[in-house]
Amino acid sequence: MSSAHPKVYLISGASRGIGYALIEQISQRPNHIVYAAARDPTNAVALNKLAELRPGAVKVVKLVAGSEEDAKLIMAQVRSAEGHLDVVLAVSGVALWQHYAPVKDCTNESIMEHFNTNLIGTVSLYRNAYPLLKAAPRGAIFMPMSSTMASITKAGEYAFPLCGLSMSKASINMLVRNIHLESEEEGFIVFPMDPGWTQTDNGNGNAKACGMSEAPTKLEDTIAGVLKVLDAAKRETHGGVFLNYRGEVMPW
């Protein structure tokens, strides 16, 4: 890649877990710039340290999922500094394992919390990023984090009734199909990613709620897999396809 054209990423959920680990890896690559979007940048200690270590490669920005104001400020900053976005990864999300309940017992508040962060946060990020993705060379990527629990085909294979999570992640999959079909002219590469049951606060919290000591998938394996998929992504092969971190096609 020519030094005149850095590859520009925007990644949400940057403070910890999968989002932080992706930023840590991507920002090591020469000529890559990552806008690292955290809900509360002042308390994102590790992220701020990384930005200090890699000035120019990691730029910390604020994004509360679904905040139009935050998203607009980020896009204005990216537009004036870079002019485009090559890759947007919508990683921020919640899985409120404290709310495990079958549908007959789950609350509207719990369902809305999952939908607000997981779905509305992702829609808002895409809508605001659209002009900058369009301004990129053809083949800009938008990849939201989905989950095995989004798969209607696989429902019943997991033991826990986390209806707010599964419904909100299934809605992300439909969102992605819509964006894929709408963006043929723009040539966007849009697909949902199942990162596997990964050793993060989220994944380990779920594992403990199921009586396990930790989640089965190492964070480094998830990150290596997700990056391999991203690096190979083409609209013809990946666009509108539900993929996991091993690059396998997941059933809807």
Stretch that binds ligand NAP, among 76-84, 97-105, 123-131, 198-206 (CB under 6 A): 198-206
Asked if residue 164 binds ligand NAP (CB under 6 A), the reply is no
Distance in angstroms (rounded) separating the CA atoms of residues 86 and 135: 9
CB 91 within 8 A of CB 19: yes
**Residue 63 or 106: which CB sits closer to ligand NAP?**
63
Asked if residue 10 binds ligand NAP (CB under 6 A), the reply is no
Asked if residue 13 binds ligand NAP (CB under 6 A), the reply is yes
Q: Which of 203, 225, 230, 245 binds ligand NAP (CB under 6 A)?
A: 203
Q: Which of 6, 16, 41, 123 binds ligand NAP (CB under 6 A)?
A: 16
Angle between helices 121-134 and 68-81 (to 10 degrees): 20
Q: Provide, rounded to whole angstroms, the least separation between the CB of residue 20 and ligand NAP.
A: 7
Asked if residue 15 binds ligand NAP (CB under 6 A), the reply is yes
Asked if residue 200 binds ligand NAP (CB under 6 A), the reply is yes
Q: Specify the long-range contacts of residues 232-239, CB closer than 8 Å, at least 24 apart.
A: 233/141, 233/143, 233/189, 233/191, 234/139, 234/189, 235/139, 235/187, 235/188, 235/189, 238/189, 238/191, 239/180, 239/188, 239/189, 239/190, 239/191
CB 247 within 8 A of CB 148: no
Q: Provide, rounded to whole angstroms, the least separation between the CB of residue 19 and ligand NAP.
A: 5
| Structure-token pair, residue 242 | 């539900």
Interface residues for ligand NAP in 49-108 (CB under 6 A)? Answer: 63-65, 91-95
Asked if residue 173 binds ligand NAP (CB under 6 A), the reply is no
Asked if residue 39 binds ligand NAP (CB under 6 A), the reply is yes
Stretch that binds ligand NAP, among 2-10, 74-82, 194-202, 240-248 (CB under 6 A): 194-202
Burial (CB count <10 Å: 0-12, 13-18, 19+), residue 57: buried
CB 140 within 8 A of CB 185: no
Asked if residue 147 binds ligand NAP (CB under 6 A), the reply is yes
Q: Provide, rounded to whole angstroms, the least separation between the CB of residue 205 and ligand NAP.
A: 7
Report the SS3 class of residue 37.
strand
State whether the Cα torsion 27-245-148-251 is positive or negative: positive
Q: Which residues bind to ligand NAP, rule: CB under 6 A?
A: 13, 15-19, 39-40, 63-65, 91-95, 117, 145, 147, 195, 197-198, 200-203, 215
